[in-house]
Structure 1
Amino acid sequence: MCLVIGAPGVGKTLLLKRLHGEQHSGNNYTHLDEAPVTIPTVGTNLMNVVFNRRSEVTVRELGGCMAPIWDKYYEGCPAVIFMIDVSNRCQIAASCIQLLDALTNATLSNVNFLIILNKIDVADRMSRQEINFFFRLEEVIENTSQKIKVIEVSAREGQGLLEVAQWIQEHTKPTVS
């Protein structure tokens, strides 16, 4: 099971709904209809992402308000997706602390991490250079035991979803039905 974590409002639920919804159209991710309506997740949300007719991965989203107890869900987790809202400058400090907290948790010391920079479609978003500066991503990647990949995504527009789906498939153990 893969975990999806991040501050409230970063787009975790929308990302999962998009990935889940595309199972019916062959994981195309290029002809997405209007973005589905979401409400903030309070607690956890389980969703299966289907990659082909016989392979799926269960993804657990942990609500942003649950950050103080995220670590209770880390045991046995093969992969973590950490989402950042690049359009919310007020939330960057909190997201940085949450990311570093997850990366330094001993239970996740050998877990693959995907950092999703979401909302790249928003006009007033931070640039990749600003994100790298605030999060010191290059230094974090160099100095952690985890393998980290960073992907820029627009969950609303569907940009980057195929790359996210491929990462999930490569770094988790699918359930064969």
Structure 2
Amino acid sequence: MFLCVGPEDSGKTLLLRQLKNLTKPPIKAGQVQEPMPLSTAHTTGVDLITLTPKDLYPIFIRELGGCMFPIWKNYYRGVTKVIYVVNANNLTQVGGATLLLMDLLAHPHLRGVQVAVVFNKTEAPLLRNCNEIMNIMRFDDLKQFASQTIVNFEVSAFAGKGIRPLLKWILPPPPPEPKLH
């Protein structure tokens, strides 16, 4: 099970919708593809999203609303990867987002899991670039002292940019090619 968390208004729902859109089966001849809705409502509970990549088993991602942060820990058991979403355009949120991330990284049920910190909403002109935001978050220190492997991505869920590298991180690596003798 994967987990997608982050402060309120960081864009988790639209990000997951974009990921799901990339993994859905191709449309058949004669079918009309519905446009993906870009509007969302705040997630105030738990949503379960299923990615269905071609030739792979389904991948389940549980999204927890930002307002539920006091009970996020109740959902940590059995998680193998965490997608932590930060609104890169909201500087007032960066401090709180850092504290929530530190709390998440310190939890014993998440020791050794892989964590992707996703800087979202990069389609708008940023007040600070993502490198500056990572400095404010002391991202290098977090990576050095955490028991998890932490990677970061810059995306725009709204514009659909930067989503494919995140999807590649989510998907299992391809099996090795058989050796011919």
**TM beyond 0.5:** yes
The residue type paired with residue 62 of structure 1 is: L
Q: Using the alignment, how far apart are the partners of 2:172 and 2:141 within structure 1?
A: 25
TM-score relative to the length of structure 1 = 0.87
The alignment-based identity, stated in percent, is 32
Q: Using the alignment, how far apart are the partners of 1:16 and 1:63 within structure 2?
A: 13
Q: Using the alignment, how far apart are the partners of 2:22 and 2:147 within structure 1?
A: 33
Alignment of 1:1-177 (within 5 A): 1-24=1-24, 36-170=38-172
TM-score relative to the length of structure 2 = 0.85
Superposed CA RMSD in Å reads: 1.6
Aligned length: 165
The residue type paired with residue 156 of structure 2 is: S
Task: Compute the displacement of 1:125 (Å).
Answer: 3.9
Task: Compute the displacement of 1:25 (Å).
Answer: 5.8
Residue of structure 1 in register with 2:177 after alignment: none
Question: Structure 1: any 5+ residue segments left out of the alignment?
Answer: 27-32, 172-177
Task: Compute the displacement of 1:110 (Å).
Answer: 1.1
1:34 to 1:54, Cα distance in 2 relative to 1, 3 A: closer
Say which structure, 1 or 2, has more relative contact order (CA 8 Å, 6+ apart): 1
Question: Structure 2: any 5+ residue segments left out of the alignment?
Answer: 27-34, 174-181
Q: Does the 8 Å contact 1:119/1:125 carry over to 2?
A: no
